[in-house]
Amino acid sequence: MAKKPKAAKAPGDGNGGGKLKLIILGVVALLLVAGISVAVTWFLLSKDSDAEPDQAAAPVAQPAIYEALAPAFVINYRHDNRPRYMQVSVALMSRDQKSLDALKTHMPLLRNRLVMLFSSQDFAQLMTPVGKEMLRQQATASVQELAQQETGQLAIEQVLFTNFVLQ
């Protein structure tokens, strides 16, 4: 078998051309890494700056503060010609201690309103879960109204029944 003669090399071919391709490839890779780095940095910084206005706009929810009204309310009813009783323990839920303290000075008025509200209810209706929830909502509205009149702000978020006994 005869060997093929090697082709003559042109002056631009050879190791010099391979090194030039390697240098160009390195520069392109370096530019690509730098571009990715800039893009990631821009994305992370723009994400943080976008989150800050949302956090500033959304109010931070304060923890709930509970104030139990002691002693429990005891109300007597006349139902089916028999004496009936209701005992209910009440707690006030607020998120502002100053408003709650301002309302505490009006505690006799608040207790009076709740006694009048509780005693005006129909005993048969209070035996149902819906009747109990309606009473709780009415108590919340009554206390919020009193707080608005006396302190100028809604000091109470909810009125909660912590114990509810009908006999």
* Blockwise average pLDDT, block size 10, the chain, 167 residues: 57 66 82 77 69 56 90 91 94 91 91 94 91 95 92 89 93
Amino acid at 129: P
- The packing angle between helices 129-151 and 97-104, to 10°, is 90
Rounded Cα gap, residues 102 and 87, in angstroms: 27
Residue 52 has what pLDDT?
53
Residue 6 has what pLDDT?
58
pTM of the model: 0.62
Rounded Cα gap, residues 107 and 142, in angstroms: 13
Q: Judging by DSSP bridges, how do beta strands 82-94 and 65-79 pair with one another?
A: antiparallel
**Given CA atoms 119, 120, 126, 132 in this order, what sign does their dihedral have?**
negative
Residue 153 has what pLDDT?
86
Residue 138 has what pLDDT?
95
Rounded Cα gap, residues 81 and 15, in angstroms: 115
Is 21 in a helix, a strand, or coil?
helix
- Length of the chain equals 167
Residues 41/71, Cβ–Cβ less than 8 Å: no
Residues 94/64, Cβ–Cβ less than 8 Å: yes
Rounded Cα gap, residues 64 and 93, in angstroms: 6
Would you state the structure tokens that stand for residue 67, as one six-digit string? 């104030």
Nearest in space to 86 (alpha carbons), one of 96, 73, 99: 73
Residues 157/95, Cβ–Cβ less than 8 Å: yes
